[in-house]
Amino acid sequence: MTEKTILYRGAEAEICLTNYMKYKVVQKRRVQKTYRIKDIDDRLISTRTKGETKLIAEARKQGVSVPIIYDVDLKSGIITMEYIEGKRIKDIFNYLNKKERIDICKKIGVNIAKLHNNDIIHGDITTSNMILANDRIHFIDFGLGEKNNEIETKGVDLHVLMEAIDSTHSKYSDYFDYVIEGYKKELKENANLVIQKIEDIVKRGRYR
């Protein structure tokens, strides 16, 4: 029996570190909801697992570093994927020097633009969901992601990151500007429309 180490257990999924063939892997298993009718729950788990797998595969096609997927079990809601040996951006962001921090922020912006160029919405872009390995930023956990071409949704995607930086790395909240710099450089459509949406979202929150 393969040994498993629980890395994270949440309301929606359980993340385990284990082995698959000769590889060290992460398994993401969606949690069954006992309050839902079983047939509906099984269908939702299967659909969401399939959707996340497709988003990860499409992100890779766009040149965004993501874990390699080794196996997908739609019935059990399990995605078996590469374990990325690296450091979470969340854990290192505050300790980088200025040049390193600027460089990482620009790379983050470029990669988000690559996703948005193909209408891939990550849904939970935070520094917890990015890993620095081999000088590349790997995006993980597309569980809240979707395909959506709306400017509003892309603005929300970036706004989540802006708030994450502001709350987790408040001393460096202005570095979000470098994320936008990288984003504008890579985005194929008019980035100013997305930026305007971010500003609109901020105003909405302010005047509630």
CB 176 within 8 A of CB 102: no
Q: How far apart are CA 73 and CA 129, in angstroms?
A: 23
Structure tokens of 6?
A: 């629980």
Is 91 an active-site residue?
no
More confident residue, 197 or 36: 197
CATH topology of domain 5-82: Phosphorylase Kinase; domain 1 (3.30.200)
Residues 117-131 have pLDDT tens digits of: 999 999 999 999 999
- What does the pLDDT read at residue 36? 87
pTM of the predicted structure, to 2 decimals? 0.93
Q: How far apart are CA 26 and CA 84, in angstroms?
A: 9
Catalytic residue (choose from 41, 42, 119, 124): 124
Residues 40-79 have pLDDT tens digits of: 999 999 999 999 999 999 999 999 999 999 999 999 999 9
Q: Is 96 helix (H, G, I), strand (E, B) or coil?
A: coil
- What does the pLDDT read at residue 206? 60
Whose tokens are 């570190």? That residue is 17
Q: Model confidence at 10, in pLDDT bands (50, 70, 90)?
A: confident
Secondary structure (DSSP) of 101-146:
HHHHHHHHHHHHHHHHHTTEE-S---GGGEEEETTEEEE---TT-E
Q: How far apart are CA 160 and CA 177, in angstroms?
A: 14
Q: What is the mean pLDDT of the chain?
A: 95
The domain spans of the chain are 5-82, 87-206
Residue 1 pLDDT greater than 70, yes or no? no
Tell me the CATH number of domain 87-206, given options 1.20.120.80, 1.10.510.10, 3.20.20.140, 3.30.1330.10.
1.10.510.10
